[in-house]
């Protein structure tokens, strides 16, 4: 369990960084970014972050490796078919749960 | 077309519905990973961002260093910086001062996209309405998921760990399917991340590893597949939303491969 003081430290850091990223440019910046490389970098960053967070963590994310890989496979298929976030998440959990029960 | 508070509230309803399901998952997961219901809800009410919250939750429960939290949040949410800059070009002249400090909380992917699609300059009343409905949805969805999560037994909760990554895949895969540059960025980041994790003599904390992988992959993407220059600002309402940028990525790809 997380102690309350540690929880509030994390919370403050998360909220502050996220807020300042939104507020500072909104209040201060008057011009647009025209540099195409900076704009492209910012465009690609979220996908790099999400991919690096997902792999290799997803391989053990449902406990054991086999349920995790089964859930990941379902998630990949559903995501490829453009299903919504919740559908993909539930699909992955459902198969991971079924495989865990069988094993 | 009048552009007031009520219209903002109305325009926010579709966003609100989308947010309910995502934040419900966050609440369920937060409690599954060990937070109490009010802790999960408070994160949603103070952050109002999906990927950043899920990443923050992971770092929180793994006991990551605070500096890792700063770095992860900074890079995951860096896109808001761009959106906020774009939004300064779109709001009317009375939307300034303290209202900008407060309403900056409402800069999310979806609210930004709807605000930028308005024909007229965006007033602070309209933006307040446009922020309020999704914000309520985000909070209520989290609370509902968290309360349900409290009654789910512990052993079951572990399996829910995969839900986060399922959501991440649901964000990444459709974009990677549409855009070859995004696919390259995703593959580079994923492979590099696995190398750092599995090669025994490399020791990096998860936060730093994620940052390094993402920066390398995005820098490669920007270098090899820069987006085309933005169109001129003559006609309001044509400033690229995230989707338009993705179309731009596709166009770039075709040009590169032509």
pLDDT tens-digit series, residues A35-72: 889 878 877 877 888 898 889 989 988 888 999 999 99
Interface of B with A in 140-169 (CB under 8 A): 156, 158-169
Which residues in chain B are closer than 8 Å to A29, comparing Cβ atoms? 84-85, 88
Residue B258: pLDDT band by 50, 70, 90 thresholds? very low
- Determine contact: B60 vs chain A, CB below 8 A: yes
A11–B193 C-beta distance less than 8 A: no
In a domain, A91, yes or no: yes
Geometric angle at alpha carbon A71, from A68 and A76, rounded to 5°: 120
- The pLDDT value recorded for residue B196 is 93
What is the C-alpha separation between A31 and A79, in angstroms, rounded?
37
Q: Is B5 helix (H, G, I), strand (E, B) or coil?
A: helix
A22 touches chain B (CB under 8 A): yes
Give the number of domains in chain A. Answer: 1
Alpha helices per DSSP H over B77-108:
78-88, 98-103
- Report residue B134 as tokens: 């999704």
Assigned domain for A75 exists: yes
Contact with chain A for residue B236, Cβ under 8 A: no
Q: Which of B86, B173, B213 sits opposite A79 (nearest CB)?
A: B173
Provide the shortest C-alpha distance from residue B132 to chain A (in Å): 17
pLDDT digits (tens, 9 = 90+) for B156-204: 666 777 877 887 898 889 989 999 999 999 999 999 999 999 998 877 7
pLDDT of residue B207: 64
Q: Look up the domain containing A85 and give its range.
A: 31-102
Q: Is residue A58 part of a domain?
A: yes
Distance CA(B82)–CA(A41), nearest Å, equals 11
Q: Is residue A5 situated within a structural domain? A: no
Reported confidence tier of residue B2, pLDDT bands at 50, 70, 90: low
Q: Nearest CB to A62: which of B39, B60, B161?
A: B161
- Note the pLDDT of residue A65: 94
pLDDT of B128 > 90? The answer is yes
C-alpha to C-alpha distance for B105 and A21, rounded to whole angstroms:
10
Give percent of chain B with pLDDT exceeding 90: 41
Listed by number, the residues of chain B in 66-95 with a beta carbon closer than 8 Å to a beta carbon of chain A are 66, 69-70, 72-89
pLDDT at A96: 93
| Residue closest to B76 by CA, chosen among B44, B106, B43, B109 | B109
**A1 inside domain:** no
Read off the pLDDT of each residue in B25-44 and give the average, rounded to a whole number.
Answer: 92
Q: Is A73 on the interface with B (CB under 8 A)?
A: no
Q: Look-up: residue for tokens 């090669």?
A: B199
- What are the residue ranges spanned by the domains of chain B? 1-160, 179-258
């Amino acid at each position: 369990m997380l102690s309350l003081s540690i929880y509030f430290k994390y919370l403050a850091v998360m909220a502050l960084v996220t807020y300042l990223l939104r507020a500072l440019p909104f209040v201060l910046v008057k011009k647009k970014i025209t540099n195409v490389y900076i704009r492209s970098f910012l465009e690609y960053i979220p996908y790099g972050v999400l991919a690096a967070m997902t792999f290799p963590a997803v391989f053990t994310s449902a406990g054991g490796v086999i349920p995790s890989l089964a859930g990941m496979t379902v998630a990949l298929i559903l995501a490829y078919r453009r299903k919504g976030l919740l559908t993909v998440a539930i699909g992955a959990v459902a198969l991971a749960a079924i495989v865990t029960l069988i094993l | 077309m009048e552009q007031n508070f009520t219209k903002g509230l109305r325009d926010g309803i579709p966003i609100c519905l989308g947010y309910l399901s995502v934040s419900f998952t966050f609440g369920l997961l937060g409690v599954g990973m060990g937070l109490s219901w009010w802790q999960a809800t408070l994160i949603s009410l103070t952050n109002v961002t999906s990927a950043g919250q899920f990443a923050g939750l992971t770092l929180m429960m793994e006991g990551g260093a605070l500096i890792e939290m700063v770095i992860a949040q900074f890079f995951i949410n860096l896109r808001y910086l761009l959106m906020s800059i774009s939004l300064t070009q779109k709001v009317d002249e009375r939307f300034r001062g303290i209202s900008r400090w407060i309403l900056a909380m409402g800069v999310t992917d979806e609210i930004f996209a709807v605000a930028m699609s308005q024909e007229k300059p965006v007033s602070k009343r309209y933006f307040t309405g446009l922020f309020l409905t999704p914000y309520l949805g985000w909070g209520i969805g989290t609370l509902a998921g968290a309360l349900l999560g409290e009654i789910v037994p512990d052993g079951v909760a572990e399996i829910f760990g995969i839900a986060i990554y399922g959501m991440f895949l649901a964000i990444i895969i459709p974009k990677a399917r549409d855009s070859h540059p995004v696919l390259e960025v995703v593959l580079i980041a994923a492979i590099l991340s696995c190398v750092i994790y599995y090669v025994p003599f490399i020791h990096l904390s998860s936060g730093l590893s994620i940052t390094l992988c993402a920066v390398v992959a995005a820098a490669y993407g920007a270098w090899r597949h820069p987006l085309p220059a933005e169109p001129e600002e003559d006609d309001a309402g044509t400033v690229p939303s995230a989707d338009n940028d993705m179309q731009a990525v596709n166009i770039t790809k075709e040009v590169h491969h032509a």
